[in-house]
A and B are shown apart, each in its own frame.
Chain A
Amino acid sequence: MELRSAGAVGAGRLVRLGLQSVLHRGASQLPGRVALAIDPQLIAHLREKAARGSIVVCGTNGKTTTTNVLAASIEAAGMVVICNHEGANMEAGVASALLQGDDADWAVLEADELSTIHILPQLQPSYLVLLNLFRDQLDRSGEIDHVQDTIVEALAASPQTVLLACGDDPLCMGVAARARAAGTKVLAFGIGEDLGLAPDRVPEARFCQQCGAELEYRYRSYAQLGDFFCPSCGFDRPALDFEATSVKVDHSGVSFEFEQAGQSVIERIHADFGGVYMVYNLLAAAAAAALAGVDTEDFQAALDGYRPLNGRLQHFTVAGREVILNLAKNPTGLNQNISLMLADERPRAAFIIINDDYNDGRDISWIWDVDFERLAGENGAMRVIAGGHRGNDVQVRLKYAGISARVAHDVSEALEQLDDVAPEFPLYVLTNYSALLPTKTELEEMGSGDE
């Protein structure tokens, strides 16, 4: 290691020690930031800490869960893993994780889509997992075209990286087509059957990535994901290298057969959480795990022991009432959560918290692209409470969806508003990014967690 790098590593360690021992604060970003300031090539200098290689996970929705499940499964197979579990997914977060990790077999690293351009050229990972691309934070990220360009450019600067991408997402396949043309090897995962679900209201990417004609679908799983094809130019959902079939999704969880192209053994994977989007996350994690040498048995074992503690579908009990906390930070995320709530046959209430801090995106006009109308079902509207810095805007949105909602400032106030609703009925708390941690902390202080 060069002297400069060694100095950077030392500085990073000092910062981490300082943060943890003196300030008792998490050290997910700052050590990396300090060390990167000293050595901008730090990630390149640390990449050999992971002897077998590294896997980067990106995509608009599902990064943190996929990364954590994948890391846990590689550990379940007896290997050592470096991982940015806490979801610090910019360059500094990745550098911090590499700094803090011991020598390992694999590094499994979540990356923000736009940060791939800073991470991939340095890290030269074995695999880049691309989960999905949805409209998200237009004021920060710009339009999806820009996100796609960035990922293509990042892959071009890391020519050995294999792209493992969602074959059902035309936007991911748009990236894949361009990357393949530049020499990148591409593997695709997807759902190999019609789940018979109603399409979401505002699908992205109605038009072909290659020629601009309107795409058609043999079937659609959710949003723009499905068995798509272009009637005019042949831009088509590819043959799937990793496929989920016999998919079951209900409010108790998901299960599916995991099939690898060219292998006769088909194994069932199941989890007691999530909806359709979780099938994709788990399929991506299972595929990446298989590529890292994890067998399906170890993968399932990791899944059995996986209890999200990061506010993603995390369960709490407060004064006898089940409270389910989940992140929902863009239209597709919220639409998927609405599907999840509607699949729960019990009467249920929802508390929807929308902030507009920098990390959330300050422009929240996307809440008008969410299908809240589905909550105003035929048997009377579901009880919905609005919250967050933009709780008043959520209340207006709900009013025009036919739902009369009140505003609450926090979960305890929302629960007070439910005192006429029997405690056996659950409350779903859906928050966008910056509200997640404070809400999770409030719930942890109020009630008991799942495990």
Chain B
Amino acid sequence: MSEQRTLRIVHLYPELLNLYGDSGNILVLRKRLEWRGIWCEVEEVHVDDRPSLAQADIVFIGGGSDREQKVVCDRLQTMRDELVSFVEDGGVLAAVCGGYQLLGHSYVMGDEEVPGLSLVDLYTDRGSPRLIGNIAVQSRISPQPVVGYENHGGRTHLGTGVEPMGKVLYGFGNDDTSGYEGCLYKNVVGTYVHGPLLPKNPGVADHLIACALDRRYGTRELEPLDDAVELAANQTMLDRLLLHGAKER
């Protein structure tokens, strides 16, 4: 009998960054670990906490309104060094929407340029109109296209050498012009795809879990799960966007 394995998830500021059902991402990680007999501990970090990432396996940052994102950004700056060490050490970090923008050098709020965490070589400026709608992305981290919803005013530009999460099959992606969406850097995944991200994209969830297991236990091997329900939801949206070709607006 093998040892009992445990992964620790740190959910940053769930009460501030919860605009798009982000608690669903944590729920999906938790269940997919439990179904495989892997213990899962979730630590929620609140505004006045001083979190430590020493034991963390997966860190999650969701999306919030501008005002909330600014509050979070100020807090995160105080733990930037620890986040940098975590990321450079191969820690798994998933960041969605506003959280994705925080990964970069800067983003724009109103007319103000706000310094980000500079964890990944990217920056975000603002464009018009807001990019809103369903999205599908072909990505190497998921066997199925990643489907979900995007809703962002920011245009995110990747530095040279930063890999995008994938190629836009439908929708706008990082900046509406490059044809790419999100970023991959070490074990960091940043993306505008919410909906939330993980439920309909079990491949992405398992990618995050496999990377975390690899770092902690030296194995990427995952017991397969019955994902019929998840994949039906993925396929239904994909068919709507790609086969029927219906532009939704």
A residues contacting B by CB (< 8 A) are 138-139, 143, 145, 202, 206, 212, 214, 362-369, 392-393, 395-397, 399-400
- Tell me the complex Cα distance, A400–B151, Å: 25
Cα A367 to Cα B24 in complex, Å, equals: 9
The verdict on A392 contacting B232 (CB below 8 Å), with A139-B132, A362-B134, A365-B149 known, is: yes
Which residues does chain A contribute within 8 Å of B233, judged by CB atoms?
A: 392-393, 395-396
A363 to B71, CA, bound (A): 25
Query: Is residue B51 within 8 Å, beta carbon to beta carbon, of the partner chain?
Result: no
What residues on A are CB-neighbors of B15 within 8 Å? 206
What 1/0 flags go to B226-238 for Cβ under 8 Å of A?
Answer: 0001101100110
Total B residues in contact with A, Cβ cutoff 8 Å: 32
Are A138 and B28 within 8 A (Cβ)? no
* Bound Cα distance A382, B174 (Å): 42
A362 and B31 contacting across the interface, CB-CB below 8 Å: no
For A366, list chain B residues within 8 Å (CB): 20-21
- A399 contacts across to B, CB distance below 8 A: 229-230
Q: What residues of chain B lie closer than 8 Å to A145, measured between beta carbons?
A: 65, 67
| Interface residue SS majority, chain A | helix
Q: A212-B71, A392-B236, A396-B200 are in contact. List 4 more A-B contacts (CB 8 A).
A: A363-B20, A365-B149, A366-B21, A368-B24
Q: Mark B191-208, 1 if CB is under 8 A from A, else 0.
A: 000111001100000000
Whole-angstrom CA separation of A143 from B27 in the bound complex: 24
Contacts of B67 in A (CB 8 A): 145
Chain A's nearest CB lies how many Å from the CB of B229?
Answer: 5
CA distance A206 to B20 in the complex (A): 16
Show 28 A/B contacts (Cβ-Cβ < 8 Å), sorted by A.
A138-B151, A139-B132, A139-B151, A145-B67, A202-B23, A206-B15, A362-B149, A363-B20, A363-B151, A363-B194, A363-B195, A365-B21, A365-B149, A365-B196, A366-B21, A368-B21, A368-B23, A368-B196, A369-B18, A369-B21, A369-B23, A392-B236, A393-B200, A395-B232, A396-B229, A396-B230, A397-B24, A400-B24
Is A400 a contact partner of B28 (Cβ separation < 8 A)? yes
Q: Which residues of B contact A368 (CB under 8 A)?
A: 21-24, 27, 196, 199
Q: Indicate the member of B15, B24, B229 with the most A CB atoms within 10 Å.
A: B229
A372: shortest Cβ distance to chain B, in Å? Answer: 11
Q: Is the CB of A400 within 8 A of B199?
A: yes
Best-surrounded residue of B133, B200, B236, B248 (most CB of chain A within 10 A): B236
B195 and A138 form a contact (CB under 8 A): no
Q: Is the CB of B195 within 8 A of A365?
A: yes
B21 touches A400 (CB 8 A): no
Q: How far is the CA of A397 from the CA of B24 in the complex (A)?
A: 8
B19 at the interface (CB under 8 A from A): yes
When distances are taken between beta carbons in the complex, the residues of chain B under 8 Å from A363 are 20, 149, 151, 194-195
Chain A residues, CB < 8 A from B23: 202, 368-369
State the CA gap A395–B233 with chains docked (Å): 8
Interfacial chain B residues near A397, Cβ < 8 Å: 24, 199
- Within the complex, what minimum Cβ distance (angstroms) separates B179 from chain A? 22
Chain A residues with CB under 8 Å of B196's CB are 365, 368
**Chain A's nearest CB lies how many Å from the CB of B203?**
14
**A367 partner, pick from B21, B47, B149, B237, beta carbons under 8 A:** B21
Partner of B20, one of A202, A212, A365, A400: A365
Does the CB pair B65–A365 fall under 8 Å?
no
A393 to B235, CA, bound (A): 11
B65 surroundings in chain A (CB, below 8 A)? 143, 145
> How many Å lie between the Cα of A121 and that of B57 in the bound state?
55
How many angstroms from the CA of A362 to the CA of B151 in the assembled complex?
Answer: 11
Cβ contacts under 8 Å, B200 to chain A? 393, 396
Bound: A139/B153 CA distance, A: 12
User: How far, in angstroms, from A139 to B97 measured CA to CA in the complex?
Assistant: 14
Q: Mark B74-103, 1 if CB is under 8 A from A, else 0.
A: 000000000000000000000000000000
The CA of A395 and the CA of B236, in the complex, are separated in Å by: 12
Which of chain A's residues have a CB closer than 8 A to the CB of B24? 365, 368, 397, 400
| Bound CA–CA A152/B248 (angstroms) | 33
Chain B 12-42 interface residues, beta-carbon cutoff 8 Å to A: 15, 18-24, 27-28, 31
Q: State in angstroms the CA–CA spacing of A368 and B180 once bound together.
A: 27
Closest to B235 in A: A392
A139 to B236, CA, bound (A): 21
- Complex-state Cα separation, A366 to B149, whole angstroms: 12
